[in-house]
Amino acid sequence: MIYPISQFSCNYNKYCQFSNSNIQSKLTFRKEKTNSGKKTPTTEESLAHLNGAMQKLTAIVTLLGISAICFGIAKHINNPSTEGTFHSEMFRSLADDNTIPILKTCKSLDKNLRSVLENQLAVAQANDKVIKEAGHPAGKNRFLLCGPPGVGKSYFAKIYAKTLGASYKEIKFSDFNGRWVGLHNENLKAEFNSVIHAAASQPDKKFVVTFNEIDAIIIPRESMVNALGFKPEERSIFLNYLDECSEKVPNLTIIGTSNLAASAQNLDGAAMSRFKNIYEIPFPDSECLYEATKAHLSKIKDGNSFINRNDEKLKQFSKEMEDRKFSFRDLENVINTAKDNYIRDKVANKDNGFLFEYLTNAKNGLAKSDGEMQQKVK
């Protein structure tokens, strides 16, 4: 059985306590035999002997502990059935997911972002002949979406993947954490190898992998604080595999998302040069919020009728959200709170239908929007 280092420390302490008591007993026994004619060690000699014995014992136990840890890591890596084995999300199709539109039908997209995604899509859809004629542009199959929390980075990555008709998966760096020191690096390697194998085995299909909150690994090198050097090693593994993916699996697109702005030099320069295609997503404007609000409300009973009756109010409602720098996540929270209030009245036998005041009360009840909290931090 494999134990963490804390277990070895516990056993070591118990063993030392036993050894100390045992040695003290022997010293007492020697003292009692002073009349036997044999020379009795002095106190200084006895303490020196004890200290030497304890140093040897400490070295042996430490060596055994380190060996066991190394054995545990090797066993964990080589044996998939070992406790704590890393399991990531499988590739999946988004074709039947009605909650995700394609670029053509998504109306809540910033015009600049739409242009970026359409250009990236055209490159990804190009055949090998066209790519070769263009000189195989570097970094064509990866790009980075930066922006504050809740502005839709992961959602837009899914829209891109669905429009491309690609198999899709998301990866979070927290998923790689392991019980053993350095195991997250091995998990990262295993994940990349799995992705490369999947894409290489089906070269006629498209694949998209999104690494969420990529700033967990590609912060500037000078900002890394880790005495053991595991973070720089993780960063090196990630960057090397980015290059390998570009060379071996051109049918794979890698998307990174980050809450940090690349323009503020919060991200690693080596990583930025590899992604090349970088877009900073702002908080949605009133037009995007208006379209997103209608998409949410169309799902309630008589939703389209409600939208038509309150169209001008919804536009003003969206403008007020833009002024407060609402994110799409803020909007979703407001819509859900409005639905909760509708359900509350329905349960109380107040059959008023869905009222516009549910929306305004929910909006006004949101103490701080994502944008307002960002401004406070600054």
Q: What is the pLDDT of residues 141-200, one digit of tens each?
A: 888 999 999 999 999 999 999 999 999 999 887 777 655 556 778 888 888 999 999 999
Q: Find the DSSP H helices in the chain.
A: 5-32, 43-78, 111-125, 128-133, 153-164, 183-201, 230-248, 269-275, 286-297, 303-309, 311-323, 328-347, 356-365, 370-377
Same domain, 225 and 363: no
Same domain, 205 and 70: no
**Per-residue pLDDT, 250:** 86
Same domain, 234 and 107: yes
Same domain, 191 and 215: yes
**Is there a domain that residue 257 lies in?**
yes
Number of domains observed in the structure of the chain: 3
Which of 3-7, 33-37, 129-133, 355-359 is predicted with the least confidence, judged by mean pLDDT?
A: 3-7
Say which residue, 357 or 273, is predicted with more confidence: 357
Label the pairing between strands 167-172 and 92-93: antiparallel
The answer to whether 73 touches 180, Cβ cutoff 8 Å, is yes
Same domain, 301 and 156: no
**Per-residue pLDDT, 363:** 97
Check pLDDT > 50 for residue 229: no
142's enclosing H/E stretch is strand 142-146
**Is there a domain that residue 84 lies in?**
no
**Per-residue pLDDT, 126:** 81
58, 213, 67: which is closest to 150 by C-alpha?
A: 213
Same domain, 15 and 145: no
Same domain, 264 and 325: no
The answer to whether 328 touches 284, Cβ cutoff 8 Å, is yes
Last residue of a domain, one of 265, 280, 295: 280
Same domain, 179 and 227: yes
Say which residue, 265 or 289, is predicted with more confidence: 289
pLDDT tens digits, 36-83: 555 556 666 666 666 666 666 665 655 555 554 454 444 444 444 444
Confidence of residue 131 (pLDDT cuts 50, 70, 90): confident
Average pLDDT of the segment spanning 109-134: 85
Which of 2-16, 233-247, 333-347 is predicted with the least confidence, judged by mean pLDDT?
A: 2-16
Same domain, 259 and 311: no
Q: Counting beta carbons within 10 angstroms of the beta carbon of residue 60, is it exposed (0 to 12), middle (13 to 18) or buried (19 or more)?
A: exposed
Average pLDDT of the segment spanning 313-318: 97
**Is there a domain that residue 224 lies in?**
yes
Same domain, 298 and 240: no
**Is there a domain that residue 46 lies in?**
yes
Domain that holds residue 347: 286-377
pLDDT tens digits, 205-222: 999 999 998 877 776 655
**Is there a domain that residue 87 lies in?**
no
- How far is it, in rounded angstroms, from Cα 132 to Cα 118? 20
Same domain, 226 and 179: yes
pLDDT tens digits, 321-350: 999 999 999 999 999 999 999 999 999 988
Last residue of a domain, one of 55, 78, 101: 78
pTM of the model: 0.72
Average pLDDT of the segment spanning 124-150: 79
Average pLDDT of the segment spanning 296-313: 94
Average pLDDT of the segment spanning 283-288: 95
Show Cβ contacts of residue 107 under 8 Å, excluding neighbours closer than 6 positions. Answer: 288, 291, 295
**Per-residue pLDDT, 145:** 92
Can you give the CATH number for the domain in which 245 is found?
Answer: 3.40.50.300
The answer to whether 371 touches 325, Cβ cutoff 8 Å, is yes
Instruction: Report helix, strand or coil for 185.
Output: helix
The answer to whether 274 touches 298, Cβ cutoff 8 Å, is no
Last residue of a domain, one of 48, 78, 108: 78
**Is there a domain that residue 69 lies in?**
yes
**Is there a domain that residue 332 lies in?**
yes
Check pLDDT > 60 for residue 245: yes
**Is there a domain that residue 166 lies in?**
yes
**Per-residue pLDDT, 83:** 42
Same domain, 178 and 217: yes
